[in-house]
Structure 1
Amino acid sequence: MTPKQVERAVTVGDDLLTTHKPLLAGGTLRPHCGAGKADEETTEWRRAVNCEACLQLLKEDDHA
């Protein structure tokens, strides 16, 4: 039996509903789509990604 992979996501600033694909940039987790300002805090979650721009980037990565 294979353990289920837990998806990870990040939120930016006060928006705790929109979850983004995380990207490690300069030692900090940032949204893959570039959402938010550079100085806004990000929080990592064990949740599914729901950001439309991040999901589109994931689809493009799968087709590359």
Structure 2
Amino acid sequence: MNEKTIPVVELEAKDLPAYCPNPAMPLWSSHPRVFLDFDHHGHAKCPYCGTQYQVAPGALKHH
């Protein structure tokens, strides 16, 4: 799969801490659970399947 075919999963604050595979993924495509480490821009990528995650704008308040 290339990055253009992998959708970006948008997360809200209630979805954190986030992990992959996420609950919406089918069981057949499962891999070991890994908690995601987000960068300063709210982006993370699963090291197993390449699914990209994004924290929704305004979901987190920065101090």
TM-score (structure 2 length as normaliser): 0.26
Structure having the higher helix fraction is: 1
Structure having the higher strand fraction is: 1
